[in-house]
Amino acid sequence: MPDPYSLVRRMLFRLPAEPAHSLGLWAIRLGLDRFLLDRFADEPDTEILEQRLWGRTFSNPIGLAAGFDKDAKVWRGVQRWGFGFVEVGTLTPRPQKGNDTPRVFRLEADEAIINSMGFNNAGLSSALSRIPPKSGRPTVIGINIGKNRDSSDPAADYEFGVLRAARHADYLVINVSSPNTPGLRDLQRRTQLNSLLHRLIEVRDRAHQEIPMLLKISPDLTSTECQDIAGVVLSNRIDGLIISNTTTNRTADLASANAHREGGLSGRPLFNSSTALLAEMYGLTQGRLPLIGVGGVSGARDAYEKIRAGASLVQIHTALIFSGPAIVSQIKRGLVDLLRRDGFGSIKEAVGTAHRPKTARQALVAV
């Protein structure tokens, strides 16, 4: 039976990338995406995929990455796809238009996207009006926060985000790694990052907000920068890392005409570098923090490699553009098979196992 998304994709790809995405969000709000789901989407998650992190239960480790549902308009709808959690944003204190259009480009031959969006969003308050308080809500929702482009006090913007979003989020993401806001990545430097995170943790604690705070980092860091970030997050009691954001690097093997566009690259070409960074940060943090792996995941084997490299959770975004919403249930089914093949009884048992010697059974399977 032909994939129903293949026809939809041909039609969407006749439009520029950003209008096509807007059309997709409109279709999700109307429920038209139901026709693109496979028969497994409604099945309850297998117990082997469940884990508990930050006091929250994740029925499966596959989440929707930030950027897809910037303004929290379709998080209810995409739950039909089978996600274990959804992350909205990036959201800033005040609404902003972002960078000039066109600012999203498909690299079809590479199954990749380049974007230079620049934190375009309707503002944090607008999004929060569509997200009920977390108490009693079954859906695990992360809220990704950033600073306004023209902010004179970036730390104050993040402080505002922490205080306003804490009641609504199951976890908060401090995004200092987008390449599309001038000067933002400077906040990853040791001194600036330590000052920012120390201030945000103090604000959270003074407000008696029990909200996990995660840091999202760039894939373009040096080894020294990785060591600095690991030290800073451990000393400031940060609850986890998201690895990674989009990259400004361009590999020589990119085949698409849009490969020269400015902005952050996501999709298949990002998989190797983001997974290598994930493994490095798992080692530097000694496995003490839950990590979320994102970047280039387009199937179950990719997700499994992220998990074995150290990720407790995995996010996807660009793969949805090229494969459609049914990929969520496909990844979950494939993960169950891979875990059972290697003798794991749960996702938690598999996290970080690429750093450990293989068992006799796993060695035989690999052969």
| Ordered DSSP codes for 274-306 | HHHHHHHHHHHTTT-S-EEEESS--SHHHHHHH
| 26 φ/ψ sector (left φ>0, alpha ψ -120 to 50, else beta) | alpha
Using an 8 Å Cβ cutoff, are 317 and 65 in contact?
yes
Token pair, residue 255, equals 């085949």
d(CA 357, CA 34): 43
SS3 338: helix
Catalytic residue list: 178
Count the Cβ atoms, other than its own, within 10 Å of residue 272. Answer: 14
d(CA 264, CA 252): 16
- Distance in Å from the first CA to the final CA of the chain: 34
